[in-house]
Structure 1
Amino acid sequence: MFERFTRSAREAVVGAQEEARELGHDWIGTEHLLLAVLRRPEQPGAATLVRLGVSAENCRAAVAGVVGGGDGDALGAEDAAALKSLGIDLEEIRRRAERAFGDGALDTPVSDPGESAPRRRRLLRRRRPQGGGSLGIPSGTSPGPRGHIRFTGRAKKALELSLREAIARRERHIGVEHVVLALLRGDDKISQGMFQRLGVTPKTARELVLADLRPAA
C-alpha cells in the first residue's frame, strides 16, 4: 500500500515518528499523524484544517491535553497551592515516592493512552526494573523512545482508511487529503478528544475537505 502514497503523504507518515519522538512518546498514534500532516499546511486537506483554525501549535497543545506528556496534563501552581492548603503537599509526596521506588515513580508511564487497560498493565510489567537504573535503564543513559517506534492500531486503521478514501474517489494515489479524511473518521477517544479540544466537528470538517477537493477532481 505504501507505494501508492504521494511524496507528501510519505513525509507525513515519516514525520509522525518524528513528532512522537519529540513528544517523548513510544507509540505513533493518530495524534502524531495529524501533527505531521500540519507540517505541510499548503497540502489539500491540511489547508482545509488550517482554514478552520487548526495549526501545529494548537494541535500540539490539544495532544498534550488529551494524552499527556506535556503541560496540558500537569497540575498548575494554583492547583498545587490549593491542595497544599488542604494539607496535601505534592512535592513531598513525589519525594517520598521517588525515595521508595526510584526517580520518576509518579511520572505518567509511556504507553499508548488509546490502548485498553489490560494491555497497558502488560506493558508496565515488561518495564519493571531489571537492574541498572531505577526504571530498568542502565545508569548513565536517558529514558525516551529510541530506534523504531511502533504504530498503534488506531494509526494503522487511519492509514488503511486513507486507502479506502482514495478508492472511494477513484484515485490511484494516496495523498495528504486522504490521510486527513481518514483521521476525521477516527472513532477512538484520542481522536475525538483531540478534535473536540481543537473546536473541530469531524463530520463538518470532512464535508469541507471534500468540497475543497471537488474543483480538482
Structure 2
Amino acid sequence: MFERFSRSARQVVIGAQEEARSLGHGWVGTEHLLLSALRLPEQPGVSTLVRLGVSAENCRAAVAGVVGGSDGDGLGPEDAEALKAFGIDLDEIRRRAESAFGDGALDTPRTDPGEGAPRRRRLMKLGRRESGTRAGGGSGAGGPAPGASGHIRFTGRAKKALELSLREAIARKDRHIGVEHVVLALLRGDDKISQGMFERLGVATKETRDLVLADLRSAA
C-alpha cells in the first residue's frame, strides 16, 4: 500500500516516527501522524485544520495533555521532600536509573497509552528496585532507552488510520493517497487518544471532515 502514497504523504508517515522520537515515545500513534502532517501546512486537508486554528504548537500541547508530558505523572517538589523524610531521594534514584538505562529512563513511555498499557514506570516502583540493585546492574545496563534510535513500531490505531486513508482515496476515486486522505482518516479515529486530542484542539471531527471535503471540491 505504501507505494500508493504521494511523496508528501510519505513524508507524513516518516515524519511521524521523528515526532514520536522527539517526544520520547516508544510508539507511533495517530497523534504523531497529525503532528507530522502539520509540518506541511499548505497541503490539502492540513490547510483546513490550520484555518481552524490548529497548529503544531497547540497540537503538541494537546498530545501532552492526552498522552502525558514528561512530568505528567511525576511527583512534585513537595512530594519529593516528603519522600526524603523517609530516606527516599528521587534525584539519586533518577541519577542511578539514568546511569544504568540512559537519559530519561524514568520519563520515556514504554507502550502506547491508547492501548491500555501503563504510560511509564512509576518512580516509587523504580525506587524500590534501585534500593536493592547496584547501579549498572541488570541485563539492560548501559543500553539505550527504547525508541532512542531506529524503527519505532506503529500502533494498531495508527495502522488503522493509514488503512482508512486508502479507503478515503478510493471513495474519492483518487489514484494516489495524499496528505488530505491521511487527514480525513485521522478525523475518523474512534480511539480515546484521537478523540481526546481533537477535543482539546476544539475540533469537531465530523464537521471538520465536511469542511475538508468541501475545500477539496473547491480546489478540484
Shorter chain as denominator, the TM-score bin is 0.7 to 0.9
What does 1:168-207 align with in structure 2 at a 5 Å threshold?
Answer: 168-207=171-210
8 Å CA contact 1:44, 1:177 repeated in 2: yes
Mapped to 1, the partners of 2:180 and 2:18 lie a distance apart of 20
The alpha-carbon distance between structure 1 residues 37 and 131, as it changes in their structure 2 partners (threshold 3 A), is: farther
The alpha-carbon distance between structure 1 residues 108 and 7, as it changes in their structure 2 partners (threshold 3 A), is: closer
The one of 84, 93, 100 equivalent to 2:83 is 93
The alpha-carbon distance between structure 1 residues 66 and 135, as it changes in their structure 2 partners (threshold 3 A), is: farther
Mapped to 2, the partners of 1:131 and 1:109 lie a distance apart of 23
Query: What RMSD, in angstroms, separates the aligned Cα atoms of the two structures?
Result: 3.2
Mapped to 1, the partners of 2:201 and 2:46 lie a distance apart of 14
The aligned residue for residue 38 of structure 1 is 38
Shift of 1:70: 3.5
Shift of 1:111: 1.2
The alpha-carbon distance between structure 1 residues 103 and 212, as it changes in their structure 2 partners (threshold 3 A), is: same
The alpha-carbon distance between structure 1 residues 18 and 131, as it changes in their structure 2 partners (threshold 3 A), is: farther
Mapped to 2, the partners of 1:134 and 1:61 lie a distance apart of 36
* TM-score (normalizing by structure 1): 0.79
Residues 144-189 of structure 1, C-alpha deviation per residue, up to 9 Å, x if partnerless?
4121100000000000000000000011110000000000000000
The alpha-carbon distance between structure 1 residues 204 and 148, as it changes in their structure 2 partners (threshold 3 A), is: same
What does 1:1-217 align with in structure 2 at a 5 Å threshold?
Answer: 1-70=1-70, 73=72, 80=76, 84=78, 89-93=79-83, 96=88, 103=97, 107=107, 109-117=109-117, 133=136, 136-139=139-142, 141-145=143-147, 146-217=149-220
Mapped to 2, the partners of 1:198 and 1:178 lie a distance apart of 20
Shift of 1:90: 3.2
Q: What is the percent sequence identity of the aligned residues?
A: 69
* TM-score (normalizing by structure 2): 0.78
> Secondary structure of the residue that 1:103 maps to in structure 2?
helix
8 Å CA contact 1:166, 1:173 repeated in 2: yes
The aligned residue for residue 125 of structure 1 is none
Mapped to 1, the partners of 2:139 and 2:50 lie a distance apart of 42
Contiguous gaps of at least 5 residues in structure 1 = 122-127
8 Å CA contact 1:69, 1:108 repeated in 2: no
The aligned residue for residue 124 of structure 1 is none
Aligned residue pairs, count: 199
> Secondary structure of the residue that 1:18 maps to in structure 2?
helix
The alpha-carbon distance between structure 1 residues 100 and 90, as it changes in their structure 2 partners (threshold 3 A), is: closer
Mapped to 2, the partners of 1:25 and 1:108 lie a distance apart of 6
